[in-house]
Amino acid sequence: MKTLVFGSTGQVASELKARDDVIALDRAQADLSDPAACAAAIMAQRPDVVINAAAYTAVDRAEDEPALAHTINAEAPGAMARACAELGIPFLHISTDYVFDGTGDTPWSVDDAIAPLGVYGETKAAGEHAVRAAGGAHTILRTSWVFSAHGTNFVKTMLRLSKTRDALGVVNDQIGGPTPASGIADALLIMARAMVDGHAGGTYHYAGAPAVSWECFARETFAAAGRSIDVTGIPTSQYPTPAARPLNSRLDCTLLETEFGITPPDWKTDLAKIVSELLL
């Protein structure tokens, strides 16, 4: 299965490009700010399946760069999906819990109404719409709180801060499922193979279990690293950011398990492995 991946340095893309028969395109080869170039790359490569693992993910900066975020997160995936539809090949696209408004405490179902709080979520929701509108076989995989040994993420930030500080305040009223990038990569490839074999695809959720607060995630990170850090839980109101964050990022992953047999990963197991790798 010849798999074309958009993205090379991001967390999920870094995991995907290490797999067999995967061609990963970096920004020089396919810049998502040029949607037509992305479509042309698909036409040139003629793969069996395409995975878009690239996105504009700077949540706060997106508030100041809405046009660029929209081009990368909405127009580019739409162009990719239309190219795949023309070739008759499956297209898989990564989306986010930020398409929801974060209210309540019930895990979000794939069928729940979306209501993004900021530009990042709005552009990712627009990307979902563009992918569906292309009319081809597609899968949209929403995920949350991604972490790995690659790129920029919460785990790496906590480990960096713990080198110079012995106490930290961490938000305790945002709840979600930390999700290892390696698990997302595995899930995407399982779904890609199924779609090549005829599965129709759809919209699915994939997130780690159990759901926790950022405070809890920080404590587990420091425990895995063997570092004694005094962690104090604080409300979101005491940590203002340009873009609002959803308080409830829980995702219901039932449909993914039912259709593909993919279960939510135990993030604590993956956290221990990733922290060990980062501390080598």
62-81: pLDDT as tens digits? 999 999 999 999 999 999 99
pLDDT at 51: 97
Q: What pTM was computed for the model? A: 0.94
Say if residues 249 and 145 touch (Cβ distance below 8 Å): yes
Residue among 188, 179, 113 at smallest CA distance from 146: 179
- The whole domain housing 188 covers 3-153+179-208+250-265
Evaluate whether residue 236 is within a structural domain: no
Q: How many domains does the chain have?
A: 1
Q: What is the mean pLDDT of the chain?
A: 95
Determine the pLDDT at residue 96: 98
Whether residue 20 lies inside any domain: the answer is: yes
- Report the DSSP beta bridge partners of residue 276: none
Does the structure show a pLDDT above 90 at 18? no
**Residue 8 — pLDDT band, cuts 50, 70, 90?**
confident
Which of 261-279 are b and which e, b meaning 16 or more Cβ less than 10 Å from the residue's Cβ? Answer: ebebbebbebbeebbeebe
Q: Which amino acid is at 76?
A: A
Decide if 219 is inside a domain.
no
Higher pLDDT residue, 248 or 17? 248
Q: Exposed, middle or buried by CB within 10 Å (0-12, 13-18, 19+), for 111?
A: exposed
**pLDDT confidence of 280, banded at 50, 70, 90?**
confident
- Residue 33, domain member (yes or no): yes
Residue 120 annotated in active site: yes
pLDDT the model gives residue 115: 97
- 174 occurs within a structural domain: no
* % of the chain with per-residue pLDDT over 90: 94
In-domain check, residue 215: no
**Strand, coil or helix: what is 50?**
strand
> Which CATH number does the domain housing residue 85 bear?
3.40.50.720
Query: CA-CA distance, 68 to 35, in Å (whole number)?
Result: 11
- In this predicted structure, the answer to whether residue 20 has a pLDDT above a threshold of 80 is no
Query: pLDDT value at position 28?
Result: 85
Residues 6+ apart with CB under 8 A from 71: 32, 33, 35
Q: Which residues 6+ apart lie within 8 Å of 227 measured at CB?
A: 159, 162
pLDDT above 70: percentage of residues in the chain = 100
Residue 111 inside a domain? The answer is: yes
What pLDDT score does 84 carry? Answer: 98
Residue 54 resides in a domain: yes
The active-site residue, picked from 56, 98, 120, 206, is 120
- What mean pLDDT is predicted for residues 82-103? 98
pLDDT in tens, 133-167: 999 999 999 999 999 999 899 999 999 999 999 99
Mean pLDDT, range 124-132, rounded to an integer: 98
